C-alpha cells in the first residue's frame, strides 16, 4: 500500500494526543503531521501558574 500522510490540524492537547495515537496506529511508512498556527507549544493548564 502507498504511504499515507494524515494531517492533524491544531496541536493543542487534543491534537498532540491524536497525532501520537495516529503514529502508533498507522503503518510504519505512513506519516502523521501536526499543524499549528504557533511555532511553540503551550501546555494550557500550566497557564494557571502564570496568573
28 touching ligand FAD, by CB under 6 A: no
* Owner of C-alpha cell 502507498: 2
- Write out the chain in H/E/C secondary structure: CCCCEEEEECCCHHHHHHHHHHHHHCCCCCEEEEECCCCCCCCHHHHHHCC
Sole binder of ligand FAD in the list 1, 28, 38, 40 (CB under 6 A): 38
Is 6 a residue that touches ligand FAD (CB under 6 A)? Answer: no
The smaller minimum CB distance to ligand FAD, of residues 28 and 45, is found at 45
User: Which residues contribute to the site for ligand FAD (CB under 6 A)?
Assistant: 10-15, 36-38, 44-45, 47-48
Amino acid at each position: 500500500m502507498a504511504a499515507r500522510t494524515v494531517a492533524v490540524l491544531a496541536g493543542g492537547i487534543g491534537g498532540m494526543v491524536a497525532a501520537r495515537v495516529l503514529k502508533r496506529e498507522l503503518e510504519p511508512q505512513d506519516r502523521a503531521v501536526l499543524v499549528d498556527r504557533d511555532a511553540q507549544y503551550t501546555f494550557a493548564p500550566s497557564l494557571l501558574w502564570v496568573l
